[in-house]
Amino acid sequence: MAHQILLHTEVEPYQTIRPQLEALGEICQWNPLEPLPPAEVLRRIEGLYNFGHHRLDGAKMDLMPRLKVISNFGVGVDHIDLEAARQRGIPVANTPKLLDGATADMTFALLLAAARNLVRGDHFARSAAFTHYDPSFMLGQEVHGAVLGIVGLGSIGYQVARRALAFDMRVIYHNRQPRAQAAELGARYVPLDELLAQADFVTLNMPLTPQTRGMIGQRELALMKPTAVLVNAARGGVLDHQALYEALREGKIWAAGLDVTEPEPLPRNHPLLGLDNVIIMPHLGSATHQTRQAMAQRSVDNLRAGLEGKPLLSRVA
Ligand code: DGY
């Protein structure tokens, strides 16, 4: 019998995922915003393809007793209960490394945009209020020569550091443990509080785990310089958004750039949306044609390997 695959609603622009999955077996396509497919369909499912960050817990896994593999489109797997998968012997795969460059580019784009008023400047230049050049107007923060503090020097953080060196920045970092790789960057390991106090720019590039959830809150923001810029390209859950709102409103930090929030999207009446010293993106860190295509291919290859009982190309649990 053909492999049975549960595909979370696919919106991939190139439509390359579905034809490849069809070649592997029979697909049940499910929109996670709608009720689950019937129990008899779930009981036959052997492969689950997770496109988007849909919550997958042990109770849902139990509805699929024949599940052999969970393949996630994306590197972050905080929406999947990895421990539940481990207990049930279901391997989980993700798409690491492929998106490091694109996500580091976005981290840096947000850093530059927040430092140099790119979004406010663009809105102003289009408006009737722009009548003449004013040298005293919309002054930003200097990026070159500044200190960058990277929280999470994994493979994305490493790429952020490389970009910072090209901007003549001095790099400090905080991580669960010091990284040998940091030496080649000239990056110095510091405790988190020291990083927050010293950095002109702080980028969050760590995964969301029980240890990093809420890592940057009121206390941490209060340690930052009033001229500092905070960029979150990790997950919204690492940052307390109410505390961020207060810090930005009261000028305790200068600006922020967020690729991600929690919840995502923020409620339309969230006070952060009313501030002009924060730039918010709709989670576009890895959203380039090239990277998304590479992620699609890797996640299909992971699923195929799992269904065929072969080692997964990038197994996370
Ligand atoms: C990831 O890979 O985790 C990105 O957030 C895109 O899903």
* CATH number, domain with residue 264: 3.40.50.720
SS3 203: strand
Q: Does any domain span residue 285?
A: no
Nearest CA to ligand 1 atom 4: 74
Tally of structural domains, the chain: 2
Pick the closest to residue 68 from 24, 130, 22, 13 (CA basis): 24
**Is residue 120 domain-resident?**
yes
Residues 197, 302 within the same domain: no
Query: pTM score, two decimals?
Result: 0.96
Tens digit of each residue's pLDDT (9 = 90 or more) over 73-116: 999 999 999 999 999 999 999 999 999 999 999 999 999 999 99
Identify which of 293, 314, 297, 300 has the alpha carbon closest to the alpha carbon of residue 5: 300
**Do 221 and 72 belong to one domain?**
no
- Give residue-wise pLDDT tens across range 247-270: 999 999 999 999 999 999 999 999
Would you say the C-alpha torsion 297, 303, 308, 311 has a positive or negative sign?
A: positive
Whose alpha carbon is nearest atom 2 of ligand 1?
Answer: 74
Query: Domain for residue 302, yes or no?
Result: yes
| 312 found inside a domain | no
How remote is the C-alpha of 128 from its chain's centroid?
36
The CB of 47 under 6 Å from ligand 1? The reply is no
Q: Is residue 104 located within the same domain as residue 92?
A: no
pLDDT value, residue 11:
83
Is any atom of ligand 1 closer than 6 Å to the C-beta of 74?
yes
Same domain flag for 252 and 268: yes
In a domain, 31, yes or no: yes
Residues 105 and 237 in one domain: yes
- Catalytic residue selected from 66, 264, 289, 308: 264
Task: Please state the atom number of ligand 1 nearest to the C-alpha of residue 235.
Answer: 5
Catalytic, out of 174, 241, 283, 292: 283
Q: Is 237 helix (H, G, I), strand (E, B) or coil?
A: helix
Catalytic residue among 3, 163, 174, 235: 235
pLDDT, average across residues 6-25: 91
- Note if 18 is an active site residue: no
Q: Identify the domain containing residue 63 by its residue range.
A: 3-96+290-307
Q: Is the same domain home to 91 and 108?
A: no
- How far lies 230's CA from each of 215, 238, 260, 271, 278, in Å? 13, 12, 12, 17, 9
236 part of a folded domain = yes
Say if residue 223 is in the same domain as residue 262. Answer: yes
